[in-house]
Amino acid sequence: MCTLGHIATTKQLAREGISAFRIARAIEAGRIRRLRRGVYGCTHVSRLMARAASVGGALTCVSILREAGVWAGNSRTLHIQLPPGTAKPSAPDITAHWESPRFPMKSKWRAGRLQSIWRAIHCLDDENAIATLESALHLGFLSSSEAERIAVHAPRRLRPGIDNLETNSGSGNETIVHRRLQAAGYSTTAQAHVPGMGHEDLLIEQCVGLDVDGREWHGEDRYEIDHARDLHVEGLGRHVLRISTSQIHVTWPSTLAVIERVVNDAIRERDRRRGRIVVRFDDPL
């Protein structure tokens, strides 16, 4: 079973000399499990892959990306690939795609890395599609040369974002906020260095640090470290903000309004301090 991709049909097993009797014995012994009529899987096959096979599809798109830790938007439905003309499952938690693979499949039951990325950037909205590409590059799930291959087959609407891909964003949310702030006219630096404390997710106009995701993404241990860093950054004279996932995807207009207020105040304070320094050094006394 493992050599066949962890999932196999009765016909595939028969070609390997495995009879229906031996299949039944293996199921009874708990070595394999029946996923649907005529389809069997190893007991260690992933839950998502088993579910996809149970409805006659191959695991693909954002479902594979999530398994690898790559940003894939906020939807949690299972994405499967079906042969053309196959009836779509009626389950509300399944998104089905009909298509012939643009890139090689890993097996009959699982899309390859490039196929999954290619399908995802067609499936996701623009900002999540670009965040997915940047996340895949950052994590090494996708190489630069592979990204170029994918770009050739990407939707035209993504071209401006693809032409300006970066690889240093730590999460998809960072990419989304980074690009939204740039679209609003702000200068932003991803993964800005903080002396003595590592990096901040974003530095806006060289005067306000911004960290995204918070406790719900990083966990309790990371939460405490992040807040210790916030205090350290404030001690260095740089303002710092921290925003959650919901403040990015649910209440962004009000979040942006707060960021604009804090950044504009910080710019005025910085300019005021610089003005004092100029007066001090220009004073002939």
* Angstrom distance (rounded) from CA 118 to CA 209: 33
Q: Residue 191 has what pLDDT?
A: 84
> Phi/psi class of residue 246: alpha, beta or left (left: φ > 0; alpha: ψ in -120 to 50)?
alpha
Q: Is 267 helix (H, G, I), strand (E, B) or coil?
A: helix
Q: What is the tally of structural domains in the chain?
A: 3
Decide if 124 contacts 73 (C-beta within 8 A): yes
Q: Domain check: are 15 and 113 in the same one?
A: no
Q: Which residue range forms the structural domain that includes residue 153?
A: 56-165
Q: Domain check: are 41 and 101 in the same one?
A: no
* Final residue before a domain boundary, out of 114, 149, 165: 165
Q: 106: Cβ–Cβ under 8 A, 6 or more apart, which residues?
A: 5, 112, 113
Q: Domain check: are 17 and 68 in the same one?
A: no
Q: Residue 62 has what pLDDT?
A: 97
* Angstrom distance (rounded) from CA 77 to CA 80: 10
Total-model pTM: 0.83
Given a cut of 50, the residues of the chain with pLDDT beneath it are 214-218, 277-285
Q: Residue 160 has what pLDDT?
A: 92
Q: Residue 83 has what pLDDT?
A: 87
* Angstrom distance (rounded) from CA 221 to CA 225: 7
Q: Domain check: are 60 and 136 in the same one?
A: yes
Q: Domain check: are 173 and 285 in the same one?
A: yes
CB neighbours of residue 238 within 10 Å: 18
Q: Is 108 helix (H, G, I), strand (E, B) or coil?
A: coil
Q: Residue 284 has what pLDDT?
A: 46
Q: Residue 56 has what pLDDT?
A: 92
Does residue 63 lie in a domain region? yes
Q: Residue 156 has what pLDDT?
A: 94
* Final residue before a domain boundary, out of 135, 165, 195: 165
Q: Domain check: are 103 and 202 in the same one?
A: no
Q: Which of 81, 87, 156, 85 has the alpha carbon at shortest distance from 119?
A: 81
Q: Domain check: are 106 and 155 in the same one?
A: yes
Q: Is the dihedral of CA 134, 266, 212, 232 positive or negative?
A: positive
Q: Residue 123 has what pLDDT?
A: 95
